[in-house]
């Protein structure tokens, strides 16, 4: 090894580490076509068939940011803010409507929680599929699958079809796959909001461990305490727009102020 090499541990914060993710002017619009049902009266009057209608949702609007290696990025924002959409775009599951997403690290090792589960297969079978999808060889997957299955603590349920699982149980499988398949970039979407306290503690410990080895981590969570604890960088989305990005304390504080103002302004709105 040359004397110039620097290990990640000795890299100071002021030194610029390589980019892990670059998102430029990213917009994502969902277009859903649906049959507009005639009202009962219209239906009676003219036996009308439904009209085809298109609903567009601008889930992300001109979002730009860069993430350097070693970052544990928390993503916060109210329901419908675009957090999961951003995660899917980062995972390469959802193509940008406009703008670009660049990720350094094998795309196959990016895992989004619960994406791609086949509900008719058992938890164990989904673990195997998840491993293969993340780019591991069949042999590597076979070596790990039992440990991963064990880690979920689902007992006999692990061999039952996943459609019989509660959302908390599915989240356990997703989380276990995500953390055990040696991802370059670890992505966890709301995993910790489900499940009991004991499992959450175990999951937190596992994530802290992975923070050391993964190139970058993305965590979407409603647990602001968790975000502050696990992340060194936070991005706040609101209605598809990037509101603020920076130190966890600062961004979380601003977000909380914003939520309070909104709550007093209108009580029936979902924050």
Ligand X SMILES: Nc1ncnc2c1ncn2[C@@H]1O[C@H](COP(=O)(O)OP(=O)(O)O)[C@@H](O)[C@H]1O
Cα separations in angstroms, 167 against 119, 192, 216, 219? 12, 12, 26, 18
Q: Which among 138, 132, 130 has a CA at the least distance from the CA of 112?
A: 130
Q: Is 33 in the site for ligand X (CB under 6 A)?
A: no
Q: Are 23 and 101 spatial neighbours (Cβ–Cβ below 8 Å)?
A: yes
In the stretch 190-229, what mask flags binding to ligand X with x, by CB under 6 A? ----------------------------------------
Is 234 a binding residue for ligand X by CB under 6 A? The answer is: no
Shortest distance, position 82 Cβ to Mg ion, whole Å: 8
- Residue (of 63, 57, 59) closest to 100 by Cα position: 63
The verdict on 79 binding ligand X (CB under 6 A) reads yes
Q: Which residue has the tokens 């992300």?
A: 60
If the CB atoms of residues 161 and 223 are measured against ligand X, the closer one turns out to be 223
Binding letters toward Mg ion, positions 76-105, x by CB under 5 A: -------xx---------------------
Q: Total number of residues binding Mg ion (CB under 5 A)?
A: 2
Among Mg ion, ligand X, none, what binds residue 30 when CB lies within 5 to 8 Å by partner kind?
ligand X
In angstroms, give the least distance from the CB of 187 to Mg ion: 12
Give the residues lining the site for Mg ion (CB under 5 A). Answer: 83-84
Q: Could you list the residues that contact ligand X (CB under 6 A)?
A: 30, 32, 57, 59, 77, 79-85
């Amino acid at each position: 090894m040359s004397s110039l090499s620097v290990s990640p541990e000795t890299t100071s914060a002021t030194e610029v580490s390589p980019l892990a993710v670059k998102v430029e002017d990213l917009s994502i619009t969902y277009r859903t076509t649906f049959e507009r049902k005639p009202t009962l009266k219209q239906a009676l009057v003219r036996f009308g068939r439904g009209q085809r209608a298109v609903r567009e949702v601008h889930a992300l609007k001109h979002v730009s940011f860069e993430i350097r290696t070693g970052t544990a990025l928390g993503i916060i924002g109210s329901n419908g803010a675009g957090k999961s959409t951003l995660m899917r775009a980062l995972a390469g599951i959802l193509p940008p409507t406009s703008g670009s997403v660049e990720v350094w690290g094998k795309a196959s090792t990016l895992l989004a929680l619960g994406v791609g589960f086949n509900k008719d297969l058992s938890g164990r079978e989904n673990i195997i599929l998840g491993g293969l999808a993340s780019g591991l060889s069949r042999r590597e997957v076979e070596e790990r699958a039992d440990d991963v299955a064990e880690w979920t603590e689902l007992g006999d349920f692990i061999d039952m079809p996943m459609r019989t699982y509660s959302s908390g149980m599915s989240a356990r499988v997703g989380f276990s796959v995500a953390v055990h398949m040696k991802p370059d970039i670890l992505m966890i979407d709301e995993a910790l909001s489900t499940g009991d306290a004991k499992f959450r503690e175990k999951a937190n410990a596992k994530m802290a461990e992975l923070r050391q080895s993964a190139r970058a981590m993305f965590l979407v969570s409603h647990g602001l305490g968790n975000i502050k604890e696990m992340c060194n960088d936070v991005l706040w989305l609101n209605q598809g727009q990037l509101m603020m990005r920076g130190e966890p304390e600062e961004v979380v504080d601003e977000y909380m102020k914003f939520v309070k103002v909104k709550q007093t302004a209108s009580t029936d709105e979902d924050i």
